[in-house]
Amino acid sequence: MKDANLKLKNKIMMQVYTIYFLRKIGEPLFVKVGLFVALLVAIIFTVSLPSILANLASVFKNNGNTLVFFGTAFSGSLLVVKLIVVTQLFICVALTRDLFKLLPRLHLKGITQ
């Protein structure tokens, strides 16, 4: 009897945890962070980051204009890379906006000093 009650309790708690997890996945903040991470992984696989860093180092060494460097690099990239970068910028803006909306609520709850 005791074993049956424990199994029933574990089954019920697993269902509660599953529902809690599924509700958390649906939150916009979780979706935005997940999408940002997925796009970051896509950038890592589509762009040669060591080449960009090497070229950027030469720009700094020659006192060049970094804005021109990034503009030229962006305009010369593939359409897929441009779409990923622009989408990540929009997600960053949305996450920053969400952060500023969240901070006053945290302050009211006494979490921040």
Compute the distance between CA of residue 20 and CA of residue 33 in angstroms, rounded to an integer: 18
Could you say which residues of the chain have pLDDT below 50?
none
| Segment (H or E) for 74 | helix 66-75
Residue 10 is predicted with a pLDDT of: 87
The rounded Cα 59 to chain-centroid distance in angstroms is 29
Compute the distance between CA of residue 88 and CA of residue 40 in angstroms, rounded to an integer: 8
